[in-house]
Amino acid sequence: MKKKLAIACVLLYNLCCFSQTLTIQTEAHKFNVDHNKAVVISQIKDIDTYTNLIAQYSEVELILDQEKYIFTTVPNQLTYTDSYSITDSETTTNYTLYFTALPLISISTENTIVDEPKVYADFYYADDSQILTSKIGIEIRGGISQLYPKKTYDLEFWEDELGDDTRDVSFGNLRSDDDWIIDALYNEPLRLRSYTANKLWLDIHTPTYLDEEPDAKSGADVNYVEVFLNGSYNGVYNLSEQVDKKQLELKSNKDDIRGELFKGVGRGASTFTALPNYDNTNELWGGYEVKYPKADEIIDWKNLYEFTNFVMNAPESDFKANIWDRFNRDNYINYFIFFNLIRAEDNTGKNIYLAKYTTDEPYFYVPWDLDGCFGTIWDGSNENITDDILTNGFMSRVIDLNPNNINEEISNRWFALRQDTLTYEALSQSISNKFNDLKSNNIYEREALVYPNYSFSEDDLLYTLNWLEDRLTFLDTYFENVLSTQDHVLNSITIYPNPAKHKLNISNYKEIQGQSFKIYNNIGQLSGEGIIENNYISVEYLQDGLYVLQIDNETFKFIKS
């Protein structure tokens, strides 16, 4: 009798649960709806808690502020990777729902957004920790990129609709400021090159005057966001800090110019290949645009002209003796390594800032617009060149004259970085992790909905990783044999990706080409063997699990997934 009663209670409990409706409430600004594309993108709190909970309900409804949507079928779980079919309870319109872990930005304006001036718009931002609403001025940013269907925008946060007063805002771990960029990433096959490159530069280089200015940064930091404009889903962007006086903490100008900032927008003086006369009534000169002091306050090209003239025309003895009084030595070393590593072909004079902290300090470089790198160029097409060195007129003269044995210092710095920050393992893992983050958050599927210009496939990732491996191999040789007089030792062999699905790639495989390998499973049984013939080993035939690859006396653990 007790057993029958217990069974009846369980059945009654299940019946009650399966007749219930699970309601998921999402507050304003933490979701956006694109009615034309029939797409809903929503943030959700503690998504993992729904895994075991959702199966107990017969219906699931999503409340977006005040609007109710019903899941067409009750899902087994809620994830960022999947999409869901939902129906508007009032109009019975079907929508595709995505949950996102990224911050959401919504911008609405009745004005036409142009290349100048900024026009008034309303701005909404939401992440896990804050909701921000503000008035902004917005304009299109960029040159050729303005022709792309996905635009980059320059934002200024306003206190009023006329922009008479600005306001500083902050997002996550980024700085507090009134000027921001949302970078479209349209010409990036995987939407990760700019992000990775900007983060890498901040890892490699810090301002040499941090003792005086502890808040100074060596470049712009970025975070991913998803953007809606006037109710239309625009895709993933980099929310980026500006490279400006505040970012670099340049000295304010009083009666005389102290801090200086020039933006490379072309070629000529900026690439140290021309020295035209200057005009202090013009904010453009020799491939530069003056950014600080502001053009409406004062323009004076004299200091930059004299520096360019020195680089191009100073006698060899004078150049070798005094160049590092005029240009920051550490910055030169790190920038030369950085932009050659990522092979940022446009960043030799164009897409670069030249700055001076204060009057008696040397100039230094700051990179920007880092989309054409890691094996692609400005238009997003692959350029599989790994065996060259990028320079401009300044860098070429430094390499040729080697003032104060700078070439040896560059080589030493390269091989020091190759032991940690610039190991293939660290770099490839950073790129692979970001690819997997974007893929697991369904970013690539959403990008393809509106911008089908790339396939966003693992083939693109493999191309990037293979390019990186070949680039590192070439640069090791260059810095060892061309710039260095010392012997440098590197850990020569790494395997990737890990976990691996189809094959294990092998870095520097030519060193072990022709050698035998064996693969053992997690209980020591031989699962595969062969000869190293190419830069990879096929593991497609293995069952999922943990394995050990043995090559000569070296062993590598990997997971087959």
- Could you report the per-residue pLDDT of 390-399, keeping only the tens digit for each? 999 999 999 9
8-12, 521-525, 532-536 — which one is most confidently predicted on average? Answer: 532-536
Residue keyed to tokens 């900026």: 270
Residue 13 has pLDDT above 70, yes or no: no
Give 502's pLDDT tier (boundaries 50, 70, 90).
Answer: confident
Residue 4 has pLDDT above 50, yes or no: no
Residue 489 confidence (pLDDT): 56
What Rg value do the Cα atoms of the chain yield, rounded?
A: 28
Give 491's pLDDT tier (boundaries 50, 70, 90).
Answer: low
Residue 487 confidence (pLDDT): 61
- Could you report the per-residue pLDDT of 338-347, keeping only the tens digit for each? 999 999 999 9
End-to-end Cα, the chain, rounded Å: 50
Give 3's pLDDT tier (boundaries 50, 70, 90).
Answer: very low
**Average pLDDT value for residue range 16-27:** 78
Domains and their CATH numbers in the chain: 2-99 (no CATH), 104-184+214-241 (no CATH), 254-481 (1.10.1070), 495-560 (2.60.40.10)
Residue keyed to tokens 């690859």: 549
Rounded CA-CA distance 268/253 in Å is 27
**Average pLDDT value for residue range 373-382:** 95
> Which of the 8 DSSP states describes residue 543?
P
Strand ordering across the sheet containing 260-264: 284-285, 288-292, 260-264, 352-356, 363-367
Cβ atoms 554, 493 nearer than 8 A: yes
What is the biggest distance separating any 2 CA atoms in the chain, rounded to whole angstroms? Answer: 106
Rounded to 10 deg, the angle between the 424-440 and 443-450 helix axes is 70
* Percentage above 70 pLDDT, the chain: 95
Rounded CA-CA distance 321/339 in Å is 26
- Could you report the per-residue pLDDT of 393-424, keeping only the tens digit for each? 999 999 999 999 999 999 999 999 999 999 99
Rounded CA-CA distance 121/22 in Å is 37
Residue 544 has pLDDT above 50, yes or no: yes
Q: Compute CA distances 340 → 85, 273, 385, 388, whole Å.
A: 47, 19, 12, 9
Give 9's pLDDT tier (boundaries 50, 70, 90).
Answer: very low
- 429, burial (CB in 10 Å: exposed 0-12, middle 13-18, buried 19+): middle
Residue 512 has pLDDT above 90, yes or no: no
- Could you report the per-residue pLDDT of 225-273, keeping only the tens digit for each? 999 999 999 999 999 999 999 999 999 988 789 999 999 999 999 999 9
Rounded CA-CA distance 27/33 in Å is 13
Instruction: List, in sequence order, every residue forming a beta bridge with 391; answer none if it has no partner.
Output: none
Return mean pLDDT, the chain.
91
Residue 554 confidence (pLDDT): 78
Residue 440 has pLDDT above 80, yes or no: yes
Residue keyed to tokens 């090559």: 551
Rounded CA-CA distance 407/414 in Å is 11
Cβ atoms 372, 382 nearer than 8 A: no
